Each structure stands twice: as C-alpha cells, then as structure tokens.
Amino acid sequence: MERISKELNDLFKSQLESEIIVKEITLERENAIKLARNRELFGWFGLAGTTMLATIMYAALNSKNKISVVAITPIIMGGGYFYERLFGNQLEEIKKGAENILLKETQLLKPVGGTVTLHEIDKRIERA
C-alpha cells in the first residue's frame, strides 16, 4: 500500500510539474506575441506622431501662435517612452523590480482578507 501511495504521489507531482511547464511556455509565447505586435504598431504610432508634429509646427508658424508648439513636448516624451518600453531595457528593469518585490515585499502581494479557503468557496456556492 505504501508503494502504491508513493507511486501515485510521484505521478501527481510529475503531472503538476508538466502542467506548470506548459503554463509557463504558454505565458512566454503570449508575451512574445504582445511584444512583437507592439513593436509593429510602433512604426504606425511613429508615423502618426511625426505627422502630428509637422501639422502642429506648420499651424504654429502660419498662425503666429507660438504657444501651440507646447503640445510637441508630450508627443515626443510619449514616443520616447513607448520606444524605450519596446526596444530598450525597460523590461529588464521591470523584471528586477518584480523580483525585488517577490523577495523583500511579499506582504504587498497577499490577497485582502488572506488566502481563500475551501470553506469560503463552499459558503459562496451555498449562497448562490
């Protein structure tokens, strides 16, 4: 009986590890697709931003209203942020920050009210 129990535990452990690996691979692929899609969109946003900047500058020069040039700053800053997020090292910085939180600030990750228990789930099912 002990041997069967050990074999079942090993089987369940192996199955759980396989499920974790599949979930991790799926998450990696989804993140890669999101990053590739955003990198492709960056070209379109760059084109739209450049068109907008040229239009603002043209309007400012023709209307003699130089205050409209102030709108250029947030457009350039937003484009720079988007570029850094997609092609720079911002992802590595975010990962380092997340690892730091996981190591040193785990209390921030605890769910409000504590971990959900089976008893709480059963009570919710009864109420529904």
- Count of structural domains within the chain: 1
What beta strand segments (E) does the chain contain?
none
User: Structural domain of residue 83, as residue ranges?
Assistant: 2-127
- Tell me the whole-structure pTM to 2 decimals: 0.62
Residue 67 is predicted with a pLDDT of 84
Question: What whole-number distance in Å separates Cα of residue 125 and Cα of residue 10?
Answer: 32
125: helix, strand or coil: helix
Query: For 5-31, what is each residue's pLDDT tens digit?
Result: 888 888 988 898 999 999 999 999 998
By C-alpha distance, which of 72, 70, 83 is closest to 50?
72
Burial class, 36, CB count within 10 angstroms (exposed 0-12 / middle 13-18 / buried 19+): exposed
CA Rg, the chain, in Å? 26
Query: For 61-114, what is each residue's pLDDT tens digit?
Result: 888 887 888 888 898 998 999 899 888 888 889 889 989 998 998 888 888 887
Residue 107 is predicted with a pLDDT of 85
